[in-house]
Amino acid sequence: MTESETQWVDHFDVQLPASLHAPEGDLEGDLEGDLMTLSPGSVLFASDAHLEVSVALRGQSYRGRLVRAGAGAEGRMNYVVQLEMPLPVHDLIR
């Protein structure tokens, strides 16, 4: 289904208890929360929990939490991570 087609699909506002679970990978356990919006092809999930991640860059690891995810170009996903400590940006772009 294309993005323009999904704009015409019915969405339903709900508040249903649910959990977010990654069947494989680095996510340990489940995130408890609520489904806020339902449609045939997607859900909006809300939780008080934060998804902790780390970003590996040039041999260093930077911890943070995932704050947003969305569709990117060419079928890729974009993730916004709020870092605990600032990146040494000027050192990284040299």
Kindly list the domain boundaries of the chain, sorted by start residue.
1-49, 50-94
- What pLDDT, on a 0 to 100 scale, did the predictor assign at position 1? 45
- What pLDDT, on a 0 to 100 scale, did the predictor assign at position 88? 78
Q: Which parts of the chain have pLDDT scores under 70?
A: 1-9, 20-29
- What pLDDT, on a 0 to 100 scale, did the predictor assign at position 27? 59
Q: What is the pTM for the complete model shown?
A: 0.62
Task: Yes or no: say if 39 and 12 are a contact pair by the CB < 8 Å rule.
Answer: yes
Task: Cite the beta strand spans of the chain per DSSP E.
Answer: 12-21, 30-39, 42-46, 51-57, 60-71, 77-83
H-helix or E-strand spanning residue 90: helix 89-92
Task: Yes or no: say if 25 and 66 are a contact pair by the CB < 8 Å rule.
Answer: no
